[in-house]
Structure 1
């Protein structure tokens, strides 16, 4: 009995020792697990920090690249705009030069036509003068002379009508103030009946082609009468007769 009791006590002590050992082992194991878990958490946090830093660096590099590309595109756009402005200005200048050339050519053509027309018509004015002299100086005395007079006056009228269609018109300077652009003073008459410089009489008819002078009108101009001018009156009458001849 004593041996069995001792054996039981030994077994109980052994059980207590095993329980104590098992408890300490469990505590150590739990400590290691907790330590390992804490380490894993620290590693995960470190990896997250490194990942965030890497993404920030990538974003920074991307923004820098995009900014550089935008600056390059803006520079190219500005260069293209300058080229466009240059080409557009050249185009406008060429158009303006061509338009000026066209207008100048038209003006030169018109001036040449007027010049040729004036030269041609001027040669016919002497014919008109002769018809007018004949009409004023010839008085038919019989039917035959009247028939001849009427026939060449018909030719004269046809010539005058043709000149009118070309734009030729006679000047009517009587009563106007003398203008050297249109009139040529052949005589002066000293009188107080007209203001000084007034055209009293047209001695030879002048003609216009539009705004162009074909022939200046030869006129007699009024001058203020003085005591000296009375002595010159006789000479002026003589000059008038010479001009009319």
Structure 2
């Protein structure tokens, strides 16, 4: 090898590759024999200095002996201790690994390998250098693979959260819709039953208008059936059944059925003047429209007695 210029306080940096290692003997690392590093002191070497040569031979034996015992074990131990990826790692615990933790772990391993790499360059062990370079490349590749895997799992978690939120919203809508349908079905069934009982109310009302209380026996019979009718009225009220207001109120085609129309001096045009059959409401639902007679006018005013009767009719089924 040709003589080189003085290398006082100068360090060489040598790049290794697989082709270089296969062809090059130990002479490739001769420039690194010009200097070495021990603890916190640097010892520049000069081929003309006897004391420096002595220092090299002294420290060379120490470094080589120590390196041969631990260099390959250290480099291989970091490679063997790398976490292996398999299908079994696709578990819930793996989802908790963050990208920062992966970077921190492999940064520590790379620093350790680089320290061993420097020692291998210092002692001139070409085979160890090649193996450490391969280990570093493997660690970097594995780090990139795990980082991609963490990113993919994070995206999968976010997708799962979005699906969960959508499913939760769909379930809430389904629950509300089911509750509404249940109430509708219940109201419809209740309305059908009550509607089938309305003819009984009509019969009580007709009997009340037609009966003539002349004897004591007739009065007892009237009191008996009126007691039954009042009990029936209380049950109807508990089911939210109310009477459609009629006399003295404006005609509403949604609530009333007009069967007659005549002029009136008491009511203006469009006001109900007489009721023929009661109408009933179940809450806001119309069970049966009221059959009424409507005024054709011209009217002057609504008598107070008629207004009071109409107000009483709006409170619900009559108690009498």
Normalization by structure 1: what TM-score? 0.61
Asked whether 1:50 is paired with 2:1, we answer: no
- Comparing 173-182 with 90-99, greater Cα deviation is found at 173-182
Q: Distance in 2 between matches of 1:146 and 1:209?
A: 33
Cα offset, 1:127, TM superposition: 0.8
Q: How big is each residue's C-alpha offset from its partner over 1:172-204, in whole Å with a ceiling of 9 and x where there is no partner?
A: 222222222211111112346433322222221
Q: How big is each residue's C-alpha offset from its partner over 1:131-156, in whole Å with a ceiling of 9 and x where there is no partner?
A: 11111111111111111111111111
Partner of 1:222: 295
Q: Secondary structure at the match of 1:50?
A: coil
Q: Distance in 1 between matches of 2:152 and 2:4?
A: 58
Match of 2:166 among 83, 87, 93: 93
Q: How does 1:18-57 map to 2 (within 5 A)?
A: 42-45=6-9, 48-51=10-13
Structure 2's unaligned 5+ residue stretches are 17-113, 115-132, 299-320
Q: How does 1:196-207 map to 2 (within 5 A)?
A: 196-207=269-280
Q: How does 1:48-127 map to 2 (within 5 A)?
A: 48-51=10-13, 78-127=151-200
Change (3 A) 1:51 1:78: closer
Asked whether 1:195 is paired with 2:258, we answer: no
Match of 2:252 among 179, 199, 205: 179
Q: Distance in 2 between matches of 1:135 and 1:160?
A: 14
Q: Distance in 2 between matches of 1:66 and 1:202?
A: 95
Asked whether 1:170 is paired with 2:132, we answer: no
Cα offset, 1:71, TM superposition: 7.8
Q: How big is each residue's C-alpha offset from its partner over 1:69-105, in whole Å with a ceiling of 9 and x where there is no partner?
A: 9987776555444323321221111112111221222
Q: Distance in 1 between matches of 2:181 and 2:143?
A: 56
Structure 1's unaligned 5+ residue stretches are 1-38, 226-245
Partner of 2:224: 151
Change (3 A) 1:76 1:208: same
Q: Rg larger in 1 or in 2?
A: 1
Match of 1:138 among 204, 211, 214: 211
Aligned length: 182
Change (3 A) 1:86 1:53: closer
Q: Distance in 2 between matches of 1:208 and 1:179?
A: 14
Partner of 1:31: none
Q: Distance in 1 between matches of 2:297 and 2:153?
A: 77
Q: Distance in 2 between matches of 1:200 and 1:129?
A: 20
RMSD, aligned CA = 3.5
